Structure 1
Amino acid sequence: MSDTKTYNGSCFCGAVQFTVTGEPAAMGYCHCESCRHWSAGPVNAFSLWQPDAVKVTQGEDKIGTYHKTPNSYRKWCQSCGGHIFSEHPGMGLTDVYAAVIPDLQFKPAVHVNYQETRLRIKDGLPKLKDFPKEMGGSGVILEE
């Protein structure tokens, strides 16, 4: 018997449902202008997963895709407009928005793109100027 945990998630109306299995590769907050605009909020809470850990179980035909750049293929429900996840081919990861996985215990470890923040958060987590070096960023940590 496996101890691997599976979490259920859905869009706002429930027409698109999916599972994520295992543990996320990372969790944190993104402060970039693109994520802020897409989420209509001052910061985006992310959970990054290996693409094969994310499975659409219902409503795949209702998923719309938008990509402003080749870095992010943003997915949403065409019925309700609810955002569900973004595929990041360059990173080889899928960002499932933390808010759409209700049973996942969100444990953020980092803030990325903090140089673009519009909401200062003093939580003791590292505040990266852009991305970690291993993800193609500078790895520079900014002061809280």
Structure 2
Amino acid sequence: MNIEQQYQGSCFCGAVNFSVTTQPVLMAYCHCDSCRHWSAGPVSAFTLWNPETLQITQGKDQIGSYKKTPGSIRKWCRTCGGHLFTEHPEMGVIDVPAAIIPELSFKPALHVHYQESVQPMADGLPKMKDLPAEAGGSGDLVPE
């Protein structure tokens, strides 16, 4: 019997609730200017999921979106402004901030866009100049 792990998440006020099943495709840190600006922090801790594993369980009508680039459609709660997820249609994944899935044990595998870092992190994880080659990046590493 195959039992899938399910995690619950929500926006800041709880108006929007969702679940994700199985495990993320990737957990990592992003240092790009766009993610830093969106997260209002020096680094963004993210989890990538197959889009079909995410289900909105409450508040679908409360979700707003903004498409800054063709590669990223950011979603948030219209009630509290809390961030929910970012669709990456060109990569075929959906990015959910690690902080809004409280039961998920965040275990990052690497850092992306590290050349834009404003918060160096000496944690021994690989530091990608941009993105891995399989995600459309150069695949180049930069020093910690």
TM-score > 0.5 by shorter chain:
yes
Residue in 2 that maps onto 1:3? 3
Which runs of structure 2 are paired with 1:21-100 in the superposition (5 Å)? 21-100=21-100
> What TM-score comes out, normalization by structure 2 length?
0.99
Which runs of structure 2 are paired with 1:118-129 in the superposition (5 Å)? 118-129=118-129
Secondary structure (helix, strand or coil) at the match of 1:140 reads coil
Percent identity between matched residues is: 62
Q: Give the aligned CA root-mean-square deviation in angstroms.
A: 0.6
* In 2, Cα distance between equivalents of 1:71 and 1:117: 21
Residue-pair matches, total: 144
Which 4+ residue blocks in structure 1 deviate beyond 3 angstroms?
none
> What TM-score comes out, normalization by structure 1 length?
0.99
* In 1, Cα distance between equivalents of 2:70 and 2:135: 15
Q: CA deviation at 1:21?
A: 0.2
The residue type equivalent to 2:81 in the other structure is G
Q: CA deviation at 1:3?
A: 2.4
